[in-house]
Structure 1
Amino acid sequence: MATTLKIAFDTDPVSLDPHEQLSESTLQFSHLVFDPLLRWDQNGQFEPRLATKWERIDNHTMRFFLRKNVTFRTGNPFSAKDVIYTIQRLKKSPDFRAMFDTIDTVSMVDNYTIDVHTTYTNPLLLNIMTYVFPLDKTFYQDQDQIIKYGETFASQHVSGTGPFILVNRELGSRMELDRNPHYWDKDSAGNVDKVILTPIRTDSTRLAALLSGDVDFIFPVSPIDIERTKKVPNIQLVTLPSTRILLLHMNQKRRKEFQDIRVRKAINLAINQSLIVDKILKGYATPAGQLSPDRFLGHINNLEPEYNITEALALMKEAGYEDGFRISMMAPNNRYMSDEKVAQAISAMLSKIHIVVDLKTLPKAQYFKEFDNRSADMMMLGWQSDTMDSNNLFEFIIACTDAKTGMGAYNASEYCRSNIDDDIRQANREMNPERRLRLLQQIERTLYKDAAIVPLYWQSLTWAAKDKVKIKDIVNDQNYPHIGDLFIEE
């Protein structure tokens, strides 16, 4: 009898092209239909996938040995040429380019061995290689242009080596996948034959679908529903702390007020992170005074969020804005946990220092187009470090925006300090952990002193499923559930 898994997540990928958007839903999809060279296991260690092992040849070269007898959905055999092709394409992707900038060339040793050559020593090369989900070169080449939110061959057709094959997709309403009968991983405990993924934006509707038995597995569970869900028989709840930071960008190009450090500090002091975490997120997050969570090298123990309305008002007065001003703010309403409610609370908090907020919230697909266009004075962003390292946060969110290198691709503050960029570049090549730690903490300290952004909190991840669906074994703190390995009890 076929085992079907019905999933309701809050969103589905905007495209089938794994290189179009660097987002959680894209990566979740990639783990379903493609396979990475290696991936993180639940203990934060690297696990071989399409690469069976790797070794360092010299300071600038890492050799990867590839799995044999693997085929793509088309039946084309997987080999070194597909990996080389994929990395070259990643280097051209607007969203992934900055991460892959460190890779100079990839050379073929033989059909199942490649050498990755970096432009400089890189302490995070293996972290980066978890993003290489080899594409079927024969299938994609010559029709592989990447256009964000565009209609392209790759955004509508897919050929991977993954545990599932896409059989049907209605954008925004349903995705159907069947087990790949030729999947290479015969040791996997996974017994799911069919996956039906339905995006359900509203928290209460998503939970209702689980409780009524319409779906088997949901993410996320709203903080206000967690206690109630815990009491429901035959339903399990799994929560993990994550390293995803939520923050606000203050656009210094759009608003001269934000160029004044006193105003930026006042905004930071007016926002009460602890209250947001307690009241809206019901404790399922950790208030943040910096970007780096405590398991990252850049984390500084005593950098806590500060809340002080009196001091904030004094700073506004000193900066000449005693009467305040009006700003526009945008946030998504289906991307992060209770994102719309959090944005509304922040608007109310800023009104106490006479900043009137015109808030507009949008579904994820529309929101990120506006974010890319820097359409509001203040914008919300959540970021899960791609490399599980502080420097990824810095190079995407803080670095001066540079379309050529992809640095600062998500810097909607338009904040730019060349000395920070120098430290980011240095940290990307520093192999000595002590020196690297000092560089990353130096960046974190500068951002804090500059009040460059408003760190809000690190969000916890909460999934719920029917008891027979063994999700505990396949969820992780990056939220790329390894559904290919999911076991469902009959």
Structure 2
Amino acid sequence: MKVRAFFIYCLSFLIYQGADAATLKMAFDADPVSLDPHEQLSEGTLQFSHLVFDPLLRWTKTGKFEARLAESWERIDDRTMRFHLREGVHFISGNPFSAKDVAYTIQRLKRSPDFRAMFDTISSTTLIDDYTIDVHTTYTNPLLINIMTYVFPMDKVFYQGQDQIVKYGSTFASRHVSGTGPFKLTHRELGSYMVFERNPNYWDTNSPGNVKTLTITPVRADSTRLAALLSGDVDFIFPISPIDIQRTQSIPGLQLVTLANSRILLMHMNQQRRAELQDVRVRKAINLAINQRLIVEKILKGYAMPAGQLSSDRFLGHINDLAPEYNLIKAKQLMAEAGYQDGFRLSMMAPNNRYMSDEKVAQAIAAMLARIKITVDLKTLPKAQYFKAFDDRSADLMMVGWQSDTMDSNNIYEFLVACPDADTGLGAYNASEYCRPSVDEDIRLANREMNPERRSQRLQQIERTLYNDAAVVPLYWQYLTWAAKEKVNIRAIVNDQNYPYLGDLVIEE
């Protein structure tokens, strides 16, 4: 009823705007938990940031870097990069954009619990003039330019003095926005809908985008989301359930776009909560009892790649011979060797609207573990509630997905398997509480190694250690699938990181 009421609201809103306004109505599986771009390092937050803020630079579909608020950049020395910024840009507040806003944003990122591990490499910034800034690192870093794609300059004058970062809290930054992006937020009902209008003073006058009004509704149920597209209530949806893909492809007037993705889905096994999980034989047994290939085939209908490691084949840490292994007999033997032939009970939590068919995958995992006499008490939660529980490490087994922020293996390791350290931000999403100092040292050295071959060896050493330790349960690399009306040219603006560049979207009238 809430969704239908919102669509009626949208209709009246669009009639008021006039027939010449290009409009886009979207239904995604969830909305961002906050308007603060630094509160949570998540896909939803980054999608929102690309709507109302602008990055210094961004990835293209071919894996190159595209200038945005930074017009150009060059390396000054081994530890310094200089960025030349775009002039004549204004925030929604009317305040002019300058290098001071970039310096302010980087310092704020360094104190964000979720982002600080990535930005810890940056030691300081130097303002050369109003539109030139030098970024200094504490050591040589081969990924500095990758990291800078996560700098979405914030309006220093607008936020300063009321810019505290509180996860899942109510702060000024979590409720107010002043960005330079293609859209401005005009209305938000948390968990219900968001309405955006085109930024009338947007700096990118070369953008082909013609969307003037944008509405986004979070719709948890796959079937409801697809029904809204089929009925014409929305123009663009994500994701598509694997069981609906073939049907969607056969419907005239709709288009389906699918891209392979390097996002890894995995299960954490909390070694601090449960003594049983401190035994590597038990962790290996759990890995061997979970049939990744069957999950991909039966539940995801082939729209994922089974994983036996964290690094996808596009990353330097990938090891070709680390394939997923399913061996129920060996899993039972390991349980017996560890003294748990009669099994035990574990709690498990997973989201039910964050990843493709996540609840069904979690149910399948619980059933598979029952075959080695591990009884799983499964609880699934909507995304907004789940990640608070995840941060609190509320269950013995917890599901999470991770898209490398730097398109590199080491970002995965830093956040998912490094020893948890609140001061540095390392291990911020390590719900296994796994900790091996030698892995942390390899992570540190890989972040300083400029030679690609030596760096690859270092990253593969980490990957092999994680495999031998059965540190986590890699599940699969999930494909991304969007659907839209034919007139909505989504193919040009979607990408394998799932940050659709909606500011450049063209809707044919």
TM-score normalised per structure 2: 0.96
Return the offset for 1:397. 0.2
- What corresponds to 2:320 in structure 1? 301
Return the offset for 1:464. 0.2
- What corresponds to 1:20 in structure 2? 39
Return the offset for 1:61. 0.2
SS of match in other structure, 1:347: helix
1:260-310 alpha-carbon deviations (Å, 9 max, x no partner): 111011000000000000000000000000000000000001100000100
Return the offset for 1:387. 0.5
SS of match in other structure, 2:259: strand
- What corresponds to 1:339 in structure 2? 358
Separation (CA, whole Å) in 2 of partners of 1:442 and 1:33: 40
Separation (CA, whole Å) in 1 of partners of 2:479 and 2:55: 25
1:341-372 alpha-carbon deviations (Å, 9 max, x no partner): 00000000000000000000000111101100
Matched residue type, 1:5 = L
Separation (CA, whole Å) in 1 of partners of 2:145 and 2:310: 22
- What corresponds to 2:17 in structure 1? none
- What corresponds to 1:179 in structure 2? 198
Separation (CA, whole Å) in 1 of partners of 2:256 and 2:264: 22
1:42 is matched with which residue: 36, 58, 61? 61
Map 1:475-486; keep pairs closer than 5 Å.
475-486=494-505
1:454-474 alpha-carbon deviations (Å, 9 max, x no partner): 000000000000000000000
- What corresponds to 2:469 in structure 1? 450
Separation (CA, whole Å) in 2 of partners of 1:22 and 1:384: 10
Return the offset for 1:380. 0.4
SS of match in other structure, 1:329: strand
Separation (CA, whole Å) in 1 of partners of 2:389 and 2:48: 23
Separation (CA, whole Å) in 1 of partners of 2:355 and 2:452: 33
1:39-72 alpha-carbon deviations (Å, 9 max, x no partner): 0011110000000000000000000000000000
1:125-179 alpha-carbon deviations (Å, 9 max, x no partner): 0110000000000000000000001010000000000000000000000100000
Return the offset for 1:385. 0.5
Matched residue type, 2:145 = L
Map 1:121-270; keep pairs closer than 5 Å.
121-270=140-289
SS of match in other structure, 1:442: helix
Map 1:345-364; keep pairs closer than 5 Å.
345-364=364-383
1:77 is matched with which residue: 92, 96, 115? 96
Matched residue type, 1:66 = L
Matched residue type, 2:217 = T
Q: How many residues align?
A: 490
1:10 is matched with which residue: 29, 51, 76? 29
SS of match in other structure, 2:419: coil
Matched residue type, 1:96 = F
1:281 maps onto 2:281 in alignment: no
- What corresponds to 1:376 in structure 2? 395
Return the offset for 1:384. 0.5
Separation (CA, whole Å) in 2 of partners of 1:88 and 1:445: 35
Separation (CA, whole Å) in 1 of partners of 2:79 and 2:330: 50
Q: Which consecutive residues of structure 2, in runs of 5 or more, have no partner in the other structure?
A: 1-19
- What corresponds to 2:480 in structure 1? 461
Identity rate of aligned residues, in percent?
Answer: 76
Separation (CA, whole Å) in 2 of partners of 1:237 and 1:126: 33
TM-score normalised per structure 1: 1.00
1:426-457 alpha-carbon deviations (Å, 9 max, x no partner): 00110000110000000000011111100000
- What corresponds to 1:389 in structure 2? 408
Q: Extract structure 1 runs of 4+ deviating beyond 3 A.
A: none
Q: Which consecutive residues of structure 1, in runs of 5 or more, have no partner in the other structure?
A: none
1:304-347 alpha-carbon deviations (Å, 9 max, x no partner): 00001000001100110000000000000000000000000000
SS of match in other structure, 1:149: coil
1:417 is matched with which residue: 428, 432, 436? 436
Matched residue type, 1:139 = F
1:12-56 alpha-carbon deviations (Å, 9 max, x no partner): 000000000000000000000000000001111000000000000
Separation (CA, whole Å) in 2 of partners of 1:323 and 1:131: 48
